[in-house]
Amino acid sequence: LTANYVSAIGREGLKLIFEDKFDSSSTLNTSIWNYNYPWGSTYNHQANMIRRQVTTNELGQVKLTAIATRTSNITNLNTGDYGIVNVNYTSGAIYTSSFMTLKRGLTAVSM
């Protein structure tokens, strides 16, 4: 949530409490973000999450790239609720290192 964006939507009185511009040209700030999921690299879908599929660029963007390639020895995954799925794809995922609690205010995400 940048100052320019806050002004553009008419919320001049808001206090910025969190910002990450993703301005590193190669990696995430791992004091804020983690790769994959909190529980590992798979979920109830057909992709295995790996770190190299997550990149940042000089425009302040995070790019999660999915490819139709197996990059793991995981070929089938028993998801419990969804049964067995084929893991035929590779992608990237990120999550915050800690939870953030907001009592009130504006939350804006640009994706």
Question: Among all chains, which residue has been given the structure tokens 């139709």?
Answer: 68
Would you list the domain boundaries of the chain? 20-96
pLDDT confidence bin for 65, thresholds 50/70/90 = very high
Q: What is the pTM of this model?
A: 0.68
Q: Is 81 exposed, middle or buried (0-12, 13-18, 19+ CB in 10 A)?
A: exposed
Which pLDDT score is estimated for 16? 75
**End-to-end Cα distance, the chain:** 12
Which pLDDT score is estimated for 111? 55
